[in-house]
Amino acid sequence: MELRHLRYFVAVAEEGHITRAAERLGLQQPPLSQQIKALETELEAQLFVRKPRGVELTQAGQALLVEARAILARVGHAAAATKRAARGEQGRIAVGFTSSVPFHPFMPRVIRGFRESAPLISLVLEEGGTTELVDALRQERIDAAFIRSPVADPQDIVVRPLLEEGMVAALPADHALARKEAPIALPALAGEPFILYRRPSGPGLYDAILAACHRAGFSPRIGQEAPRMLSTLNLVGAGLGVSIVPESMRRLHMDGVAFCRLKDRPPLKAPLHFAHRRDEKSPVVQRFIDVVVATAANPRKNR
């Protein structure tokens, strides 16, 4: 039995007439009659009762009609799904991000734009440090990642710089410098214990903060290292020290934490990069890359 046999059968059943079904299918009547007869022979069942003005389904024919319609509908759905997947309109994508990235408006804009352009794609988000995310990319556990740090040995990974944002000091809300509500010079924090995002997770920001402190004439005293940016701010809110974080983290409005601008020059910057596999062939992932690139091309909306 072939799919065309089921299509022939359904056409005859719906038309109730061999000749009209043949016209609908673009066939001659004799070959269509022969195909229906061959189908009955294969199934060892009479599907139609022949009448002077057409044909009528038997009970066996009625049973086959239900199944044939379901099979043909499923085949049509499979073909449509395959075409959508080939166009990058259906499928699944896993996207990683470091803990500070979602608070910048860029990532929500990308996700919203991608969902609007491809609502049938299942989008899975995974948080991690830069090193973890790059490893996951190479092991194909995720398909793309928003990261803060550069990749030392990219090889099979493409890293696209997207934007830079300023960094701010995060202080306990009752800190004397926070109460002044004025920009802070880095040397004013020289005597404070620093709480930093753990270096293996985010070597770029960690190293940039240490370098800025050294330029300001002091080596920061590291009181704690936290595995995630939110953990860093929780420790600041608990009064255990101060930190320097991307400016977009101000959107958190965390209890016990005050965010203060820095007045050092050159200003500290937190970069945002986008990483994906160099030989990416998935249409779904390519569609996501296109959305990221298009969003980055409109910097005014990324502030």
What is the per-residue pLDDT for 145? 96
What is the per-residue pLDDT for 181? 76
CATH number of the CATH domain containing 36: 1.10.10.10
301 Cα distance to chain centroid: 20
What is the per-residue pLDDT for 300? 62
Do 151 and 230 fall within a single domain? no
Domain boundary residue, one of 36, 52, 86 = 86
Q: Residue 245's beta-bridge partner residues?
A: 168
Do 291 and 157 fall within a single domain? yes
Please give the average per-residue pLDDT across 1-15, as a whole number.
91
Nearest Cα neighbor of 137 from 93, 197, 105, 99 is 93
Measured distance CA(3)–CA(173) in Å, rounded: 72
Measured distance CA(111)–CA(97) in Å, rounded: 12
Please give the average per-residue pLDDT across 249-257, as a whole number.
88
For 157-176, write each residue's pLDDT tens digit. Answer: 999 999 999 999 999 999 99
pLDDT range class, residue 254, cuts 50, 70, 90: confident
Do 251 and 178 fall within a single domain? yes
What is the per-residue pLDDT for 247? 92
Q: How far is CA 55 from CA 11, 13, 63, 171, 181, in A?
A: 12, 8, 16, 85, 89
Measured distance CA(242)–CA(80) in Å, rounded: 55
What are the b/e assignments for 111-130, b being 16+ CB within 10 Å?
Answer: beebeeebeebeeeeeebbb
Do 180 and 214 fall within a single domain? yes
Do 260 and 188 fall within a single domain? yes
Please give the average per-residue pLDDT across 22-28, as a whole number.
92
The 3 state secondary structure assigned to the chain is: CCHHHHHHHHHHHHHCCHHHHHHHHCCCHHHHHHHHHHHHHHHCCCCEEEECCEEEECHHHHHHHHHHHHHHHHHHHHHHHHHHHHCCCEEEEEEEECCCHHHCCHHHHHHHHHHHHCCEEEEEEEECCHHHHHHHHHCCCCCEEEECCCCCCCCCEEEEEEEEEEEEEEEECCCHHHHHCCCECHHHHCCCEEEEECCCCCHHHHHHHHHHHHHCCCCCEEEEEECCHHHHHHHHHCCCCEEEEEHHHHHHCCCCEEEEEECCCCCCEEEEEEEEECCCCCHHHHHHHHHHHHHHCCHHHHC
What average pLDDT is seen over the chain?
89
Encoded amino acid at 24, one letter: R
Domain boundary residue, one of 64, 86, 108 = 86
What is the per-residue pLDDT for 302? 57
Is the pLDDT assigned to residue 119 strictly greater than 60?
yes
Domain span including residue 151? 90-162+271-302
Percent residues over pLDDT 90 in the chain? 61
Please give the average per-residue pLDDT across 52-63, as a whole number.
92
Do 265 and 275 fall within a single domain? no
Do 171 and 265 fall within a single domain? yes
Is the pLDDT assigned to residue 267 strictly greater than 70?
yes
CATH number of the CATH domain containing 115: 3.40.190.10
Instruction: Report the number of distinct structural domains present in the chain.
Output: 3
Do 73 and 199 fall within a single domain? no
Do 176 and 263 fall within a single domain? yes
Do 197 and 154 fall within a single domain? no
Do 198 and 245 fall within a single domain? yes
Do 288 and 139 fall within a single domain? yes
